[in-house]
Amino acid sequence: MEQIAVAERQLAAANGVAARPGRYPMTVQQIALRSYEDRLAQDNHARNTLPSYGMFEVDSGYAEMLRRGIAGTASNADLHELVGHRIEYFRHLGNTTAQQGTPEWRDLARALCKSELEALARSTERDEADFSGTPTDPLLLTAKIHDRPVLAVAGLLAAFRISVVHG
């Protein structure tokens, strides 16, 4: 069944179609970790393509807003401004059904603020040529993402035939 879900997701992505929210659920921890990993990949890409990237300083006002988001003192509008686009991205992938302003949405937004602040810390370390940094927040340390193998449609059909014949 996982192979069918992987193929569905690949087909939807190839056709630019959004997955139904909640179709491929992930926990708040998993989404936060995936966002953190995405941010580090973006940081690495920027360093490889924009030589001046490492010369920019982190916006202290942005970091403070993330801290307010983590603490739960940011308004829904502030959280939306900070990480609403990330939540919508994961909704588009089918990983969450969180609706803006709900407790579930705020929980995810706060987790993404943690993820973003951790990624900013790694970026700052990398500006000093230190690429050894790892997350310190327990939310990211305990999260596990089980990557599923990428399967071509032909492989999916062959796997399906085998399971039907030998099932």
pLDDT at 159 > cutoff 60 = no
Q: How confident is residue 53, by pLDDT bands cut at 50, 70 and 90?
A: confident
Residues 151 and 80 in one domain: no
Residues 154 and 85 in one domain: no
Helix axes 28-49, 103-127, angle to 10 degrees: 30
Flag whether 21 is in a domain: no
Flag whether 22 is in a domain: no
Distance (Å, rounded) from C-alpha 82 to C-alpha 150?
Answer: 32
Residues 156 and 138 in one domain: no
The domain in which residue 83 lies consists of 27-144
Digit-coded pLDDT (tens) for 73-108: 999 999 999 999 999 999 988 899 999 999 999 999
Number of domains the chain is built from: 2
Please give the structure tokens belonging to residue 70: 């983590």
Distance (Å, rounded) from C-alpha 108 to C-alpha 79?
Answer: 10
Residues 126 and 60 in one domain: yes
Residues 161 and 100 in one domain: no
Residues 92 and 163 in one domain: no
- pTM listed for this prediction: 0.76
Flag whether 59 is in a domain: yes
Residues 38 and 98 in one domain: yes
Distance (Å, rounded) from C-alpha 155 to C-alpha 43?
Answer: 34
**SS3 (DSSP) at 99:** coil
